[in-house]
Chain A
């Protein structure tokens, strides 16, 4: 089956630094990828929709200058948390879809970000 690889699995950083998270589709081309954030014991909140070769579409309340998304190829999307603060500590999950419309989404393994 399709596999989505997310890296790193966990990262600890100092407040004020930037962290990049990668999401790769390993055996298919993903025209669209999604980034979610999940706080402890809460649901997944969609942050943005990432389309290859174009600007990401951010959900209401998500700061696009803080969470930079780049989808430069059909197999890679990156999320950069800029000037991270402790309140950005969360579990970040990406997902990718093989095509458009219905069918399965494939989720990455998630990245646990802890900002000290």
Chain B
């Protein structure tokens, strides 16, 4: 059974600082996703990582995937208040069906 864990669960950081969110998963998968969720809202897709060593960057966020270690990271550079949200990683399961198992989520609070 695929299990996905994120850490930390909660992250309070100051504007301008850097930090990394980690996503570990228990079984082999060929795709990993990162999403952002604002309170009371649905999910906003951030990144899709499909191969070992994949690195994607958008603005202050950068995601990477190490399939051998079953680890993905979401790195935040020079955080700003607008990045405050909950971030989820999700790992593909079930082959062709695109079924996703979500991580526990990381609540990010960026303090001015």
Residues of A within 8 A of B (CB): 6, 32, 34, 36, 41-46, 49, 91, 93, 95, 97, 100-105, 107-110, 112
A-B contact count (CB 8 A): 62
Which residues of chain B come closer than 8 Å to A49, judged between CB atoms?
Answer: 94, 97, 99
Q: How far is the CB of A17 from chain B (nearest CB, A)?
A: 23
CB within 8 A of B42: which of A101, A104, A109? A109
Q: How far is the CB of A101 from chain B (nearest CB, A)?
A: 5
**Interface contact B99-A110, CB-CB below 8 Å:** no
Given contacts A93-B42, A110-B41, A110-B42, contact A105 B33 (CB under 8 A): yes
Give B43's nearest chain A residue, CB to CB. Answer: A107
Interface string of B78-107 (1 = CB under 8 A from A): 000000000010101011111111111101
**Interface contact B102-A105, CB-CB below 8 Å:** no
Q: How far is the CA of A34 from the CA of B101 in the complex (A)?
A: 11
Which residues of chain A come closer than 8 Å to B59, judged between CB atoms?
Answer: none
Given contacts A42-B105, A97-B98, A102-B92, contact A107 B42 (CB under 8 A): yes
Q: How far is the CA of A25 from the CA of B3 in the complex (A)?
A: 29
**Interface contact A102-B30, CB-CB below 8 Å:** yes
Which residues of chain B come closer than 8 Å to A93, judged between CB atoms?
Answer: 42-43
Q: How far is the CA of A28 from the CA of B88 in the complex (A)?
A: 25
Which residues of chain B come closer than 8 Å to A105, judged between CB atoms?
Answer: 33, 45, 98, 100
Q: Can you list 10 A-B pairs with a CB-CB distance of less than 8 A?
A: A6-B42, A34-B99, A44-B90, A46-B100, A101-B98, A102-B48, A103-B48, A103-B98, A104-B45, A104-B48
